[in-house]
Chain A
Amino acid sequence: MTSTRLSTSGRPLAFTFDGRSFSGREGDTIASALLANGVRIVGRSFKYHRPRGIVGAWSEEPNAVVDVTLDGKTTPNLRATTEPLVDGMAVRSVNARPTAEADRLGLLDRLSPFLPAGFYYKTFLWPDWHLFEPRIRAMAGLGRLDPAHEPPADCPVVNARCDVLVVGGGRSGLKAALAAARAGEVVILVDDRPLPSGSSIDRELEIDGVPAVQWAADAVSAIAAAGGRVLSRTTAYGIYDHNLVCCWERRTGDADRQWRIRPGRIVIAAGAIERPLVFADNDRPGVMLASAALHYLRRHEVLVGSNIVVAANNDRAYETARALAAAGAAVTVADLREQARASRESGIEILAGATIDAVHGKAGVEAVTVSGRRIAADCLLVSGGYTPSVHLFCQAKGRLRFDDAISAFVPGDAVPGISVVGSAAGELGDLRIVPAWPRAGAKGRQWIDFQNDVTLKDVELAARENFRSVEHLKRYTTLGMATDQGKTSNMNGLAAMAAITGRSIPETGTTTYRPPFVPVPFTVVAGRRRGELFNPVRRLPLEAEHRAAGAVFREYGGWLRPAFYGAGAATDEIRREGLQARETVAIFDGSPLGKIEVFGPQAGEVVDYNSYQTLSTLKPGRTRYGFMLTESGVIYDDGVVTKLADDHYVVSCSSGHVAGVVLRLEEWRQDRFDRSRAFVHNLTPHWATLTACGPRARSLVAALSLGIDLDDAVLPHMAVAAGSFEGVPARVARVSFTGDRSYEISVPLSKATALWRAMNEAGRPLDAVLMGSEALLMLRAEKGYIIAGKDTDGTTMPHDLGIVGPRDKRQGEYAGKRSLFMDNALDADRQQFVGLAVADGGAMLPVGAHGVEPAAGGRRSIGYVTSSYDSPNAGQPVALGLIRQGLARTGEEIEIVHLGKTRRARIVSPCFFDPEGVRLNG
């Protein structure tokens, strides 16, 4: 055994690691429990499968990444150093088979001379990366996903505001929070550790004459008493625009929470992370950060070794050395500084001007050669100084400056609304550090990024191949790109590049800091926005009625609507509905249809400008079909507009375009007209619209007693009448999307159910049929009526549908007008809207299939099928499409290709049914 636990107190917790049973205790992290049991190899490295041990004690840990199974559910890639141990956990090392200790791919390391940085990129050039990729994917990587484990979408998101947000619950953070709270400010302090006071506990510091633990507990109480809030186990992982800070709160027994905090100002007190030293074989299990060893000793009563060498270039490592010696370890301090004094104190031998020549022991440290002298050791602690945690400051676009006194980057010019305090600002006391950066040309495999297996030689290779910018270095070698985001490696990496290229460290610079600071589970980021809540559908007021009638629902333009009714096969039910609708009468719920009211003295000018067709010339009570164009002249939507009075119009656009049409009406109203003389009001959600269509539609509507004269002379096609239904206003519009006689009846939502039931009642003696969206879509295709956005695309202009009247004759401005006369609009070779009849005797044409014709070097697409149905009424399959010069090619046969098969289709009129239109009044 190497590391051991010094006491037997605490409630024991059983767990397994790579199948072996161990015992930890309450309060352990997985890492401290593994160390307490003397486990040295906790994983295999990403690329070379080198045995690796625990290096750190918190989020900086590069090696100890594990998969954890608890209650039958496996969560991959947890950091053993931050994950609390839970009784019954099964912990498994990543990238190792069968175990981290006896990994079969361990021999890969012998091939390392052939696998330098960028070797994978070179396979892109030669011989062929396809040969390598599947194997690389199998050999490299981290944890395994458990396909059976889909975590619930139960993480709440909390939006919070405060005057001051303090990030970090160490001494500096607590002091800042306390001062702000006492000054009457609303304070939130987030701290990623379970206990406040940061590294002060480990160092057993006294603060204001009180032990750190006690002082921190008192400070937390005082902050709370002053109205502040302290969130433990909460990591501020990113600062976003306008100082939005996102935090991940970990909870036991409850789902984790995401906090989205908008503070007035931010105090960053995120501390500093100790840096490893770079020397040959510095990745052996048993090589650990000195501060981590102190942490395991003080918080977990774990002594990381019995014969310990501490290699350091600063004074603070002596604190650790003395604590370990006091705990019973034999300690040798290898002080790398020339000016240090060789000496001996109780239990500690100090070597000055030391060099670490070699680390012995393949599976873990057995001995260390210091300045030519071999010292038996089971643990080698390293301290290369401290790197302030400036991540959040840099995410907020803060700039750094290099502080020679501590050999580290610290925050430079202030960023508005953000201050940095304590160790994060470089306040590290008197370290008396002498830099010990990597040296160019040093011998042996000197590891810089442990998690991504990047060595000093890889950095040299990058420099040699001219990837000298740190951003290039990062991407070429993957240095700093692992899940630890280079917390222990970035500084050594850029210092190595500086040394190799003969530049200073500030000249070399740092890579860009980006969120998140630690890996954050997607469940926390996504919150409850999953499944039905990811993009919620809109629901019909009559959904319950439809369900009772056996409707099968699908989504149409964001609305959940009946696709068809009945328990039979979809095609059969749709066919039945489509046939019966043309024989008797169909009842259809068209409530999502746009009902946007435009009123005021300028209402006519607004709707005219919004539309390709002139609308203000309508007589009151009449309706006109038309297009709305974008400024590029492309059809944005189609629909009917009704003039109720000279100062009152209703724009009935497609269901899926209501929000967009409201906003374009608003844009013209506000930008072009007198906003006090025209108003736009979207009443779509306030009115239900039920349609009766088919030969018996008038009889059905007549039975509803709406107080409307249904005589065709009074209420012809494209006319509107106002009546009432059960004491509320009812509006009846004769517009048709099926080509049959049709009445759209709109009533306020409160009467939707009553109207639905009344129509069903009235329909019974007429053999009425309930019709879903699928049958309606089929019937409208039989008539060649378009769906904007389905039968038109981002290039289709009105004249591509043969509708040229307004373009050729209309005076005055309207949206998109000038675009209709641009060269591309007048091009003869445009895709135009046509019908496509099957010409090879086969089944219906597939939607999306392309029409093709011979062209130089093969064939070219001349357009595609936009809609296709197996129409029972037309007696043949019907298809609509956009085909180049299609309007002039009626009668021609063209080739249609789809998934390698060639079909033949004839270009025909898009109207397959009742071309004379007699059924509108039938």
Chain B
Amino acid sequence: MQLFPCPFCGLRDETEFSFATEAGRGRPEPAAEVSADAWSSYLHFGANPKGATREVWLHAACGEFFVMERDTVTHMVTVQEAGEP
């Protein structure tokens, strides 16, 4: 059971959180100008790196979205930032 840091609530069990998206993936828009490839890539193709990763997570208990840097191999959480993902 991992512990994730919510910017408001502090360390909580991972079951209270859900993964939202990889950080820094801007939503392509306006729709009329977005190619099908660009949209599929936005919807379906994450980088899914082995090792260090930067992600947006949701603390479902309080509703806060935040950025978390962690390692997908060691599961160590390195950085957490509140505010604008």
Contacts and interface: CB of A to CB of B under 8 A. Distances in A.
Interface of A: 240-242, 244, 260, 262, 397, 631-632, 659, 662-663, 666-667, 670-671, 680, 812-813, 817-819, 821-823
B41 to A, nearest CB: 12
A244 B15 CA distance: 14
B30 A823 contact: no
Given A662-B63, A813-B31, A819-B39, A667 B20 contact: yes
Given A242-B1, A244-B1, A663-B63, 11 more contacts: A262-B3, A663-B60, A666-B58, A670-B64, A671-B65, A680-B63, A813-B31, A818-B28, A818-B29, A822-B36, A822-B40
B43 interface: yes
A812 B29 CA distance: 9
A680 B64 CA distance: 12
A671 B85 contact: yes
B58 A667 contact: yes
Contact of B65 (A667, A812, A813): A667
Contacts of B84: 670-671
Given A813-B29, A813-B30, A818-B34, A670 B85 contact: yes
A666 B65 CA distance: 8
Contacts of A680: 63
Query: A-B pairs with the 6 shortest C-beta distances?
Result: A818-B31, A241-B2, A666-B63, A817-B31, A244-B1, A818-B39
A632 B63 contact: no
B2 A819 contact: no
Contacts of A821: 31
A671 B2 CA distance: 25
A818 to B, nearest CB: 4
B1 A632 contact: no
A244 B14 CA distance: 12
A241 B29 contact: no
A302 B39 CA distance: 75
Contacts of A244: 1
A241 B1 CA distance: 5
Contacts of A397: 74
B18 to A, nearest CB: 8
B71 to A, nearest CB: 12
Contact of B36 (A667, A670, A823): A823
B68 to A, nearest CB: 13
A662 B62 CA distance: 11
Given A663-B58, A817-B31, A631 B43 contact: yes
B43 to A, nearest CB: 6
Interface string B33-62: 010100110110000000000001010100
A680 B3 CA distance: 27
Nearest to A667: B65
A670 B28 CA distance: 18
A612 B29 CA distance: 16
Nearest to A682: B63
A631 B40 CA distance: 11
A589 B69 CA distance: 46
Contacts of A659: 60
A392 B50 CA distance: 25
